[in-house]
């Protein structure tokens, strides 16, 4: 099954600069397979130059800029056409064995800043170790997170990790993704973080989900179930929120506000599914 | 200045396998610039097949294998010729500005599993923020670590991070590297982990140091000062010990012992220096 | 030298009760030696009964109450006369040896929730171990904290500990007290937490400091230097903020606001000193 | 039901003293209600004086001593008669309401070093919040711990807490006790740590369990189920292992070994029960 959806995106980000420094933004829609980006514009109200860079995996684009003392406002606008390739009905992706993993995938087996899979090996084995490997096991992980963890803004902060989320039993989309990733890696399944715009969120914000390597490709999973996955517009992927944060900044640069608008331009409703999807 | 040194390496690693699973080894000398690897052999006593993979950056080679219940012994042997390119006397590498960083380097600005640079921004700014940027600032970081942290096996464990090391004021080479990396990233300087064999260690073991991006290349730094840097034989680089551990294994595989031998075959002594060196 | 100061205190605390439960308040001025409490009144606007309890050490009074769904407002009012006994000029209190510590004091040698002195033994030994034991060493600890840690509301939260404060190099009065306590205990010096009202704070709020056992009594120390110690009105003492929090509440009770007023009724200015004082 | 059991205890503790300092031992059987201690002897092979102190609650006795450089061996011997008062068959102790708690009990509602009940409020509420308050709820907590956490020496260390144990899903008796305590306090039930000798352990060692305040007294609970509770000889109680560690020592004193012998002198077998018991 293939669907096409067209979205219009706008993000306005404001910072206060106490000490001249730099900003590294991660807000541009990915020019990945299945996602066509047009009419794109990134600009700074103060006129500072933005240098675009693409990460080595070709998926994530960054915009780096030097910032002067005072206010700083950056606006991103684009139109994105997404094609969505659903699971074939009759095929269930399996977990790949370690020796057949491409090296660029194998590195997503390791623990990362916010996904301490090294600490969760026993936890994951006890909860999910006996389940049949493959898609259904990852679904069981998503169900577990959805049922056991409260979606609760304010319960965690920017330093919180998967293990913290597990102890507090609460978090936001970023924590849900971290926990899903950590469980998968602890079981030997490559998993990575996805940051995105999302159509249909209860309130306009950046969204986070996670990707799992099954069969021979990455599939989307989202334990929050806050929005239809067909309405995710990928910004980038990485180990976790550490290399996918909306902005990394030098000391003395302070976040002020972000205003997002994600509109569906093409007619029709998004199919609301929490099933994993892949984009090709 | 250029030196050439020839080394003979042997590592014998033993594991006990309680539950059939997999091993992902990171023990082969890197085929990086400045390092020529010959007469290499990796073999399992039990005859299991080892699949070699090279990480996307071309620096790190992994050997993956499935392991059956019982004992498992893997032996790695190689000869390595190292060329060492020292700092030109009259040139001091500077810190690159964010906008001129290659994307493959920029990702080493982010916090990782054992290097929580996000938590150490204020700490690094207070201790090193006012120092002149560049090589001398990284040397100041190494000096600080060498003076403030005790080299103390047993004080930390495999889950310990840079922040733990800072609180305990003790650690081993891996912790010293993590702390150096975390301080650099907190200051906006790309830094990554290096795992290696090392000639001249007080006792034969794997070694860890860190690399810092200055000017337009990576330079070696080692706050432990346990061995001459000209005797390091690079195995691989990564974010931290998470993606450079000697072995990652499935649950039910247990480390038993590692026996290492690193011999200098070419005549002459290594120049003992703690100055950074680069390999080309 | 003896001084007497008279203060008038009022605290209005508001909570929202989502689920009927309980509140345990720790807001009454201590009826300790050197502190005379008169015209005291604790009452709930909603009319709920408040049960007063005094901790076994006789210093801290709690008020327990059951709370019904809806708003809850408690008001505390009192007048307090404080006498202040300063250090004799010619006498410097020494550190007591372990074998002469009263048992009720020895328990303040142990680590507690927010003061992980067990983790900081090496840190404290390296920074303060070589200093001459006694009052001057505790002053050195206060100076170190005042110089190394930024007073920065928002940098820590209610779960943050002394080790966190050390890593972040920032905190509020509660964190400053926790760090001072942890260093002292790590050196074998009994130390405990003091919660108080304070006259002369830059903004009206509850305050925290710490007490150290030197010679044969507890002395006040405050590394924040935000207000004259002669204007502290003791509420209670304990291991740390865990048993001195203004309010402990059942799940479903939420803090809304606290309005404090601390006025000096007697004439004259408080002697602004950061020297330790004891009350007798 | 009342039983009397007579035990003979011997503990030999050895330390190496690198730097002259002090030792604070917590090894003497408690002279608590229901426990009669006779023929007691505490002595140091090196002849150092041991100062006995009793904690303010009258339950725990400490022995403090100064130690000189070199070896240090302390031997404790005693005979203990225990009377055991079981639950009346027809009575189930209930949870006390906050306002009726004695102040000396209320302080065991607060989080402590190794029992971060402040972090586990939501966890405890989700798992046990809906259960009927009282003895059966505490039994449910013990069952949960026994089923979910592996008894695994080496999985945790002396700095590990209840939250760590929950993440690692493994620990030893001390961690099982910490987790039970943390869950109870998070639910508003006073709970404290008990250290003991225990007859019938798989291997001779000190043991840890926890006590819960139900009705009007403390009851024993032990989620490890490693030994019959009727064979526990109480050493002391406290907030957690922080104030009940076998030994607290100054820096430069190192634990070497502990040899324990706990023999049942009176005839008959201990009734193996994991039901809570109280001593009177």
Q: φ, ψ for residue B153 (rounded to 5)? A: -55, 140
Min Cα separation B125/chain C (Å): 10
**At residue A278, does pLDDT exceed 80?**
no
Residues in chain C within 8 Å Cβ distance of D242:
110-112, 118
Min Cα separation A119/chain B (Å): 7
Min Cα separation B118/chain C (Å): 9
Q: If we measure between CA atoms, which residue out of A126, A119, A140 comes closest to residue D144? A: A126
Is there a contact between D122 and A166 if contact means CB atoms under 8 Å apart? Answer: no
Q: What is the pLDDT of residue B272?
A: 60
| Cα–Cα distance for residue pair A254/D144, rounded to 1 Å | 45
- Mutation test of the interface with chain C: which of D25, D42, D49, D99, choosing the one with the most C Cβ atoms within 10 A? D99
Ordered DSSP codes for B68-81: -SEEEEEEEEEEEE
Min Cα separation D119/chain A (Å): 6
Those chains having 3 or more beta-carbon pairs within 8 angstroms of chain B are A, C
Residues in chain C within 8 Å Cβ distance of D101:
53, 64
Instruction: State chain D's mean pLDDT as an integer.
Output: 91
For B147, the token pair is: 């003076």
Give ranges for CATH 3.10.620.30 in chain A. 93-245
- Mutation test of the interface with chain C: which of B120, B125, B163, B169, choosing the one with the most C Cβ atoms within 10 A? B169
Q: What is the pLDDT of residue B248?
A: 86
Residues in chain A within 8 Å Cβ distance of D167:
119-120, 123, 163, 166-167
Q: Quick count: other Cβ atoms within 10 Å of Cβ D163?
A: 23
| Cα–Cα distance for residue pair B143/B147, rounded to 1 Å | 6
Q: Residue D112's beta-bridge partner residues?
A: D115
Q: What is the pLDDT of residue C103?
A: 85
Residues in chain A within 8 Å Cβ distance of D146:
none
Secondary structure (3-state) at D199: coil
Is there a contact between C167 and B126 if contact means CB atoms under 8 Å apart? Answer: no
CATH of C2-84+247-264, one of 2.60.40.2250, 3.40.1010.10, 3.30.200.210, 1.10.3720.10: 2.60.40.2250
Is there a contact between A103 and B54 if contact means CB atoms under 8 Å apart? Answer: yes
**At residue D253, does pLDDT exceed 60?**
yes
Give ranges for CATH 3.10.620.30 in chain D. 90-244+273-278
Interval D129-158: pLDDT, tens? 999 999 999 999 999 999 999 999 999 999
| Cα–Cα distance for residue pair D253/C121, rounded to 1 Å | 12
- Residue A1 DSSP symbol: -
Q: What is the pLDDT of residue D280?
A: 44
For A71, the token pair is: 């206010």
For D192, the token pair is: 């404290």
Interval D163-172: pLDDT, tens? 999 999 999 9
Q: If we measure between CA atoms, which residue out of D86, D105, D84 comes closest to residue D189? A: D105
Min Cα separation B61/chain A (Å): 9
Interval B204-231: pLDDT, tens? 899 999 999 999 899 999 999 999 888 9
- Mutation test of the interface with chain C: which of B114, B120, B122, choosing the one with the most C Cβ atoms within 10 A? B122
- Residue C57 DSSP symbol: T
| Cα–Cα distance for residue pair D224/B244, rounded to 1 Å | 37
- Which residues of A fall below an 8 Å CB-CB distance to B? 21-22, 24, 49, 51, 53-57, 62, 64-66, 97-99, 101, 103-104, 106-107, 109-113, 115-116, 118-119, 121-122, 125, 129, 158-159, 188, 238-239, 242-243, 248, 250-251
Those chains having 3 or more beta-carbon pairs within 8 angstroms of chain D are A, C
Q: How many beta-carbon pairs under 8 angstroms link C with D?
A: 121
Distance of CA B122 to the CA centre of its chain: 26
Secondary structure (3-state) at C165: helix
Q: φ, ψ for residue B246 (rounded to 5)? A: -55, -40
Q: How wide is the angle at C-alpha C130 spanned by C-alphas C129 and C134, nearest 5°?
A: 75
Give ranges for CATH 3.10.620.30 in chain C. 87-244+270-278
Q: If we measure between CA atoms, which residue out of D94, C182, D168 comes closest to residue A167? A: D168
- Residue D115 DSSP symbol: B
Those chains having 3 or more beta-carbon pairs within 8 angstroms of chain A are B, D
Select the residue of A123, A148, A169 nearest D167 (Cβ to Cβ). Answer: A123
Residues in chain A within 8 Å Cβ distance of B18:
none
Give ranges for CATH 2.60.40.2250 in chain C. 2-84+247-264
Lowest mean per-residue pLDDT among A165-169, A226-230, A232-236: A226-230
Q: Find tokens 């007023």 and name the residue.
A: C261
Q: What is the pLDDT of residue C277?
A: 61
Burial level of C85, CB count in 10 A (0-12/13-18/19+)? Answer: middle
| Cα–Cα distance for residue pair D78/D20, rounded to 1 Å | 29
Q: What percent of chain A has pLDDT over 90?
A: 73
> How many H helices and E strands in chain A?
5, 15
**At residue A98, does pLDDT exceed 70?**
yes
Q: How wide is the angle at C-alpha C256 spanned by C-alphas C250 and C258, nearest 5°?
A: 105
Q: If we measure between CA atoms, which residue out of C40, C44, C33, C105 comes closest to residue C75? A: C44
Q: If we measure between CA atoms, which residue out of B30, B9, B28, B27 comes closest to residue B279? A: B30
| Cα–Cα distance for residue pair B209/B229, rounded to 1 Å | 9
| Cα–Cα distance for residue pair A168/A171, rounded to 1 Å | 8
Is there a contact between C106 and D62 if contact means CB atoms under 8 Å apart? Answer: yes
**At residue A85, does pLDDT exceed 80?**
no
Instruction: State the distance between the two ends of chain A, measured CA to CA, in whole angstroms.
Output: 12
Is there a contact between C167 and B170 if contact means CB atoms under 8 Å apart? Answer: no
Q: How many beta-carbon pairs under 8 angstroms link B with C?
A: 32
Mean pLDDT of A109-116: 97
CATH of D90-244+273-278, one of 3.40.50.1010, 3.10.620.30, 1.20.140.10, 3.10.440.10: 3.10.620.30
Residue B157 — pLDDT band, cuts 50, 70, 90?
very high
Q: What is the pLDDT of residue D92?
A: 72
Q: How far is the CA of D265 from the CAs of D7, D199, D269, in angstroms?
A: 5, 11, 11
Is there a contact between C116 and D112 if contact means CB atoms under 8 Å apart? Answer: no
| Cα–Cα distance for residue pair B223/D159, rounded to 1 Å | 26
Mean pLDDT of D62-72: 94
Ordered DSSP codes for B20-88: -EEEEE--SPP--TTEEEEEEEEEETT----EEEE-TTSS-EEEEEEE-SEEEEEEEEEEEEEEEEEPP
Residues in chain A within 8 Å Cβ distance of D166:
166-167
Helix B135-148, helix B121-128: angle, nearest 10: 100
| Cα–Cα distance for residue pair D259/D63, rounded to 1 Å | 18
Select the residue of A55, A111, A119 nearest B107 (Cβ to Cβ). Answer: A55
> Residue D85 contacts by C-beta under 8 Å, 6 or more apart in sequence?
D1, D2, D34, D277, D278, D279, D280
Q: Quick count: other Cβ atoms within 10 Å of Cβ B3?
A: 15
Is there a contact between B167 and C126 if contact means CB atoms under 8 Å apart? Answer: no
Instruction: State chain B's mean pLDDT as an integer.
Output: 91
Residue A1 — pLDDT band, cuts 50, 70, 90?
very low
| Cα–Cα distance for residue pair C176/C141, rounded to 1 Å | 11
Does domain B87-244+270-278 correspond to CATH entry 3.10.620.30? yes
Burial level of A125, CB count in 10 A (0-12/13-18/19+)? Answer: middle
Select the residue of B148, B155, B163 nearest C167 (Cβ to Cβ). Answer: B163
Q: What percent of chain D has pLDDT over 90?
A: 72
Residues in chain A within 8 Å Cβ distance of B116:
113, 159
Is there a contact between B56 and A97 if contact means CB atoms under 8 Å apart? Answer: no
User: Are residues C67 and C189 in contact, defined by beta-carbon separation less than 8 angstroms?
Assistant: no
Q: What is the pLDDT of residue B3?
A: 73
- Residue B246 DSSP symbol: S
For B110, the token pair is: 């982010």
Mean pLDDT of D246-263: 92
Secondary structure (3-state) at A243: helix
Q: φ, ψ for residue C119 (rounded to 5)? A: -85, -20
Residue B256 — pLDDT band, cuts 50, 70, 90?
very high
Q: How wide is the angle at C-alpha C139 spanned by C-alphas C133 and C141, nearest 5°?
A: 85
Q: If we measure between CA atoms, which residue out of A152, A158, A208, A216 comes closest to residue A181? A: A208
Interval A114-170: pLDDT, tens? 999 999 999 999 999 999 999 999 999 999 999 999 999 999 999 999 999 999 999
**At residue A213, does pLDDT exceed 90?**
yes
Q: How far is the CA of B184 from the CAs of B93, B98, B142, B209, C167, in angstroms?
A: 15, 13, 10, 13, 15
Q: What is the pLDDT of residue B1?
A: 45
CATH topology of domain A93-245: C8orf32 fold (3.10.620)
Q: Residue A8's beta-bridge partner residues?
A: A79, A263
Residues in chain C within 8 Å Cβ distance of D116:
113, 159
User: Are residues A183 and A211 in contact, defined by beta-carbon separation less than 8 angstroms?
Assistant: no
Q: What is the pLDDT of residue C1?
A: 45
Helix D121-128, helix D135-148: angle, nearest 10: 100
Nearest CA in chain A to B23: A98
Q: What is the pLDDT of residue B267?
A: 80
For C132, the token pair is: 């001459």
Q: Quick count: other Cβ atoms within 10 Å of Cβ D80?
A: 23
Nearest CA in chain D to A116: D167
Give A131-168 as a 3 state SS string.
Answer: CCCCHHHHHHHHHHHHHHCEECCCCCCCCCCHHHHHHH
Ordered DSSP codes for B165-200: HHHHTEE-HHHHHHHHHHHHHHTT--EEEEEEEETT
Residue, of B84 and D29, whose pLDDT is higher: D29
Secondary structure (3-state) at B4: strand
User: Are residues C172 and C205 in contact, defined by beta-carbon separation less than 8 angstroms?
Assistant: no
Regions in chain C scoring below 50 on pLDDT: 1, 280
Q: What is the pLDDT of residue A143?
A: 97
Ordered DSSP codes for C62-121: EEEEEE-SEEEEEEEEEEEEEEEEEPPTT--PPPPPGGGS-HHHHGGGS-BTTB-TTTSH
Q: φ, ψ for residue D266 (rounded to 5)? A: -75, 150
């Amino acid at each position: 099954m293939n669907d096409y959806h067209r979205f219009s995106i706008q993000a306005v980000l404001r910072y206060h600069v106490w000490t001249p420094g730099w900003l590294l933004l991660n807000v541009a829609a990915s020019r990945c397979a299945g996602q066509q980006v047009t009419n794109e514009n990134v600009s700074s109200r103060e006129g500072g130059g933005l240098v675009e860079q693409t990460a080595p995996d070709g998926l994530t684009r960054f915009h780096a800029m030097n910032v002067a003392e005072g206010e700083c406002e950056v606006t991103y606008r684009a139109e994105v056409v997404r094609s969505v390739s659903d699971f074939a009905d009759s095929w269930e992706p399996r977990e790949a064995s370690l020796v057949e993993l491409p090296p660029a995938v194998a590195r997503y087996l390791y623990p990362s800043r916010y996904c301490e899979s090294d600490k969760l090996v026993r936890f994951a084995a006890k909860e999910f170790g006996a389940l049949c490997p493959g898609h259904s096991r990852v679904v069981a992980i998503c169900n577990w997170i959805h049922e056991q963890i409260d979606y609760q803004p304010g319960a965690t902060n920017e330093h919180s990790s998967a293990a913290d989320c597990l102890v507090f039993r609460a978090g936001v989309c970023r924590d849900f993704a971290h926990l899903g990733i950590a469980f998968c890696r602890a079981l030997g399944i490559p998993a990575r973080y996805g940051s995105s715009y999302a159509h249909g969120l209860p309130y306009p914000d950046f969204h986070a989900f996670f990707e799992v390597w099954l069969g021979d490709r990455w599939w989307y999973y989202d334990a929050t179930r806050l929005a239809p996955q067909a309405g995710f517009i990928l910004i980038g992927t990485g180990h976790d929120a550490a290399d996918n944060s909306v902005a990394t900044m030098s000391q003395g640069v302070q976040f002020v506000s972000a205003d997002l608008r994600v509109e569906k331009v093409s007619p029709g409703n998004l199919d609301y599914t929490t099933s994993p999807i892949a984009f090709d």
